[in-house]
């Protein structure tokens, strides 16, 4: 069932937490998002074939999928955009993704030329007009993908943070906001230490995010951070976390 993260009647943000089959302990839990503004819609990171049908059915109550303007993809991984071919066939949407990945996306499709519907986001990011608002595609390169974007919604003040803030927990826990940050660190630390490329880029990102007015950080896996106090707990934590190449040593590179 979808969780309403924000709803003022004209602008709605929805999160789907349970579309990866709860019995699928072989597949990582992942979240999908829908932003609706004045009857127009954007899906953020709709996922792979496991989530396509559930998301297509689940979204109709808020937006007819024929009115889907965009798929906004943080990067090109299977749990982000693996279902691309189905969305291309069943909707008229454009797909926005880093310019680094536009020519890789056709490998998710049947081979038909969808070039006119695949839009490359430049490295510095862009504004995405949606209904009466503008969603900001903000740079999040190397978090974890080389060409990576997050999506900031200035109406709800939600930052859809992709893999940043991920916690590896089941869908029932993921649907609840984080309440005990210190306990939550255990579910985040191993992922961030390996998937985030270096502390240097985390610090650049934190500096950018502190200049946005963020009420909620909503990652693509696991639970969200609600309210400025909890958002700041996360920013303070990731800003000081050694990760990725910071932790690599020669012993990680010895042939077996």
Residues that bind Fe ion (CB under 5 A): 77
User: Using CB atoms, what's the residue nearest to Fe ion?
Assistant: 77
Least distance CB 74 / Fe ion (angstroms): 8
Q: How far apart are CA 46 and CA 16, in angstroms?
A: 10
Instruction: Return the closest-CA partner of residue 29 out of 152, 135, 175, 181.
Output: 175
Least distance CB 145 / Fe ion (angstroms): 6
In the complex with Fe ion, which residue's Cβ is closer, 28 or 185? 28
Least distance CB 164 / Fe ion (angstroms): 11
In the complex with Fe ion, which residue's Cβ is closer, 81 or 158? 81
In the complex with Fe ion, which residue's Cβ is closer, 63 or 174? 174
Rg of the chain on CA atoms, in Å = 17
Least distance CB 46 / Fe ion (angstroms): 14
Least distance CB 231 / Fe ion (angstroms): 22
With H, G, I as helix, E, B as strand and everything else as coil, classify residue 128.
Answer: strand
Q: Rounded to whole angstroms, what are the CA distances from 111 to 33, 88, 116, 150? A: 27, 11, 14, 27
Least distance CB 163 / Fe ion (angstroms): 5
In the complex with Fe ion, which residue's Cβ is closer, 69 or 77? 77
In the complex with Fe ion, which residue's Cβ is closer, 85 or 145? 145
Q: How far apart are CA 129 and CA 92, in angstroms?
A: 16
What value, to the nearest 5°, has the Cα angle with vertex 192 and ends 135 and 82? 55
42 with 67: CB under 8 angstroms? no
Q: How far apart are CA 100 and CA 147, in angstroms?
A: 6
* Torsion sign, CA atoms 6, 12, 13, 15: positive
């Amino acid at each position: 069932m979808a969780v309403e993260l924000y709803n003022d009647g004209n602008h709605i943000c929805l999160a789907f937490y349970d579309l990866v089959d709860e019995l699928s302990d072989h597949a990582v839990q992942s979240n999908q998002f829908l932003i609706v503004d004045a009857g127009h819609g954007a899906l953020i990171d709709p996922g792979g074939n496991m989530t396509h049908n559930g998301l297509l059915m689940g979204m109709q109550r808020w937006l007819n999928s024929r009115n889907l303007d965009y798929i906004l993809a943080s990067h090109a991984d299977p749990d982000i955009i693996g279902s691309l071919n189905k969305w291309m066939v069943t909707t008229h949407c454009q797909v926005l993704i880093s310019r680094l990945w536009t020519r890789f996306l056709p490998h998710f499709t049947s081979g038909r030329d969808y070039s006119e519907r695949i839009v490359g986001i430049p490295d510095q990011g862009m504004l995405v007009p949606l209904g009466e608002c503008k969603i900001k595609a903000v740079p999040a390169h190397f978090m974890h993908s080389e060409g990576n974007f997050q999506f900031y919604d200035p109406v709800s003040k939600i930052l859809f943070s992709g893999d940043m803030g991920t916690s590896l927990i089941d869908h029932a826990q993921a649907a609840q906001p984080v309440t005990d940050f210190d306990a939550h660190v255990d579910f985040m630390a191993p992922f961030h230490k390996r998937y985030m490329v270096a502390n240097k880029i985390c610090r650049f990102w934190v500096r950018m995010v502190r200049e946005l007015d963020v009420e909620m950080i909503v990652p693509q896996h696991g639970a969200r951070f609600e309210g400025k106090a909890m958002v700041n707990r996360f920013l303070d934590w990731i800003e000081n976390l050694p990760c990725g190449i910071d932790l690599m040593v020669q012993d990680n590179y010895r042939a077996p």
